[in-house]
Structure 1
Amino acid sequence: MTQPIPNVLTIAGSDSGGGAGIQADLKAFSALGAYGASVITALTAQNTRGVTAIHTPDPAFIAAQLDAVFDDIRIDAVKIGMLANAQVARAVAEALRRYRPKHVVLDTVMISKSNHALLAPDAVAVVRDELLPLADLLTPNLPEAAALLGRSPATDEAGMIEQGEALRALGARAVLMKGGHLSAADSPDWLVQDSGTLRLYAARVPVKNTHGTGCTLSSAIAALIPQRADLASAVADAKTYLTGALQASDQLDVGQGVGPVHHFYRWW
């Protein structure tokens, strides 16, 4: 019997410039053979140069979107991105507890590429205490991991592993510590799970267009989890896909600031 095409839900904010958030997630889902559904948690006025305004829908409307999707569509994996504030984070946590999707990838989006806050300070505790224990995989960069733990960011790979274990102790089943903020020639990530730790190497790609890299990686993982034998394979293949999208990003001519990665580099 042919395996059905996976249905993957992104719960995240909208990027009007198209490079990150919901737009990046849906592009990555499509590029990797998954059908994408979406629940929009925030609307941003955004382009390649920055975020100029954020509008957050009423949490009851976000809950209505979640109910509409889960009541009708078989969801094989969920990716969570921008949550904006504590009320939105709670609405999402309540829905996940009610519907219990099979796979949940939590990307702790806190600050945009242009250094604009995307998560209110009072929401960090809700994400840590209510959403993190529901996640099969947490994908923080080093500042985000530190914020969740109330510590300083890790400065080396040993510190990444230690903080990944600390986040697992808070309830996440696995943690992908992203090493892009290290001052090294490469960009190593560490996958920390109960079966051990795995170093995922990638050469640092020297390109200008890096907008949406975190969103794209987490959504690629969510798209691939239902299609791969294990989490490590899904993460490794997602990382390979992102590297290609970064390498091909200069084929795009989008905006005057930090442009997006090329989600469809294998087809266009």
Structure 2
Amino acid sequence: MINETIQALTIAGTDSGGGAGVMADIKTMQARYVFSAAVVVAVTAQNTIGVADFMAMPKQLIDEQFKAVADDLKIRAAKTGMLADVPTVKAVVENIKQYDLGPLTVDPVMIAKGGARLLSEDAIQTVKQELLPLATVLTPNLPEAAELTGMTIQSADDMLVASKQLQVLGAKNVLVKGGHGSSNNESADFVLLEDGNSFWLTSPRVETNRTHGTGDTLSSCITAELAKGQSVEEAIRIGKQYVSATISQGIQVGHGHGPLNHWARVEGENNDNKI
């Protein structure tokens, strides 16, 4: 019976405001009935208004966290979020290669909602060269996809081309999030799977500034579903449904870009038996 409960791991930075990073990941995985462990690689001082400061953890402490988790828990899937700088990215890559953590979702966090840079310029190249080839699923938003590919992404065709370039960089499955796109009443994401199949995921665009931690929540929901044994396609579809629910069933916290409602219920989903 030991370690029978489904477990997943978040590798990211904290958010003292509670809406993003490790905090959002743990809340999301818990809501999806998956036990969440965490390797904290950075600590931020932030709230819904913005990031005041952050500090990356020393490599030794990152290594010890990975070892502590791997020595005791049975991690079935993992995700990365904020990775701060080159030494942190390299430490994370080294540990992911060392331990069996299951499929990996990479959320290439670069800029916070308030505009603060959460990944140094020189670390972008390290992410491209060393982390992306380890990704089972990659979940960039439009600015992140543009940064990783060097493209200008302004259309649906651009999203398709960018996803193919991201696969060339090593990511097996790519979800390019279209929420930053200007447009109509819908938010459209493009998914390119490892087998070459692709599809669009759309949802009604909700007029709200309560969207802090959206990327973290999507990637951690995908990770939780992969830990349960869902296929990549099904995990992505569930992630989209869950995030849409967390936005549409919003809560009122803070004065700026408020957090999502992580206890939102997905319409039509049976929440009685998730384990």
Give the alignment's TM-score, normalised by structure 2. 0.92
Distance 1:32 1:183, change over 3 A: same
Report whether the alignment pairs 1:166 with 2:168. no
Aligned residue runs from structure 1 range 100-119, under 5 A: 100-119=100-119
Residue matched to 2:91: 91
State the alpha-carbon separation in 1 of the partners of residues 167 and 121 from structure 2: 22
Residue matched to 2:200: 199
State the alpha-carbon separation in 2 of the partners of residues 227 and 58 from structure 1: 32
State the alpha-carbon separation in 2 of the partners of residues 232 and 4 from structure 1: 25
Deviations for 1:53-89, whole angstroms, at most 9, x for unmatched residues?
A: 1111112211111111112211000010000000000
Give the Å deviation of 1:125: 0.9
Checking the alignment, whether the CA contact within 8 Å between 2:8 and 2:227 is kept in structure 1 is: no
State the alpha-carbon separation in 1 of the partners of residues 63 and 151 from structure 2: 32
Q: Which stretch of structure 1 is more off in the superposition, 181-190 or 166-175?
A: 181-190
Report whether the alignment pairs 1:12 with 2:34. no
Aligned residue runs from structure 1 range 127-146, under 5 A: 127-146=127-146
What secondary structure sits across from 2:89 in the alignment? helix
Counterpart of 1:63 in structure 2: which amino acid? Answer: D
Report whether the alignment pairs 1:212 with 2:213. yes
Give the Å deviation of 1:265: 2.2
State the alpha-carbon separation in 1 of the partners of residues 229 and 180 from structure 2: 28
Counterpart of 1:127 in structure 2: which amino acid? Answer: V
Counterpart of 2:163 in structure 1: which amino acid? Answer: G
Residue matched to 2:242: 241
Counterpart of 1:48 in structure 2: which amino acid? Answer: T
The alignment of Structure 1 onto Structure 2 pairs a total of residues equal to 263
Q: Structure 1 residue runs of 4+, over 4 Å off?
A: none
Residue matched to 1:63: 63
State the alpha-carbon separation in 2 of the partners of residues 4 and 28 from structure 1: 20
State the alpha-carbon separation in 1 of the partners of residues 64 and 17 from structure 2: 26
State the alpha-carbon separation in 2 of the partners of residues 96 and 12 from structure 1: 13
Checking the alignment, whether the CA contact within 8 Å between 1:5 and 1:33 is kept in structure 2 is: no
Counterpart of 1:112 in structure 2: which amino acid? Answer: A
State the alpha-carbon separation in 2 of the partners of residues 97 and 114 from structure 1: 33
Give the Å deviation of 1:101: 2.2
State the alpha-carbon separation in 2 of the partners of residues 57 and 229 from structure 1: 33
State the alpha-carbon separation in 2 of the partners of residues 148 and 245 from structure 1: 28
Report whether the alignment pairs 1:177 with 2:183. no
Give the Å deviation of 1:22: 0.3
Contiguous gaps of at least 5 residues in structure 1: none
Give the alignment's TM-score, normalised by structure 1. 0.95
Distance 1:52 1:198, change over 3 A: same
What secondary structure sits across from 1:15 in the alignment? coil
What secondary structure sits across from 2:65 in the alignment? helix
State the alpha-carbon separation in 2 of the partners of residues 125 and 70 from structure 1: 28
State the alpha-carbon separation in 2 of the partners of residues 113 and 262 from structure 1: 17
What secondary structure sits across from 2:60 in the alignment? helix
Counterpart of 1:129 in structure 2: which amino acid? Answer: Q
Q: Which stretch of structure 1 is more off in the superposition, 56-65 or 17-26?
A: 56-65
State the alpha-carbon separation in 2 of the partners of residues 226 and 66 from structure 1: 18
% identical aligned pairs: 41
State the alpha-carbon separation in 2 of the partners of residues 38 and 240 from structure 1: 24
Contiguous gaps of at least 5 residues in structure 2: 266-270
State the alpha-carbon separation in 1 of the partners of residues 37 and 156 from structure 2: 35
Checking the alignment, whether the CA contact within 8 Å between 2:249 and 2:261 is kept in structure 1 is: yes
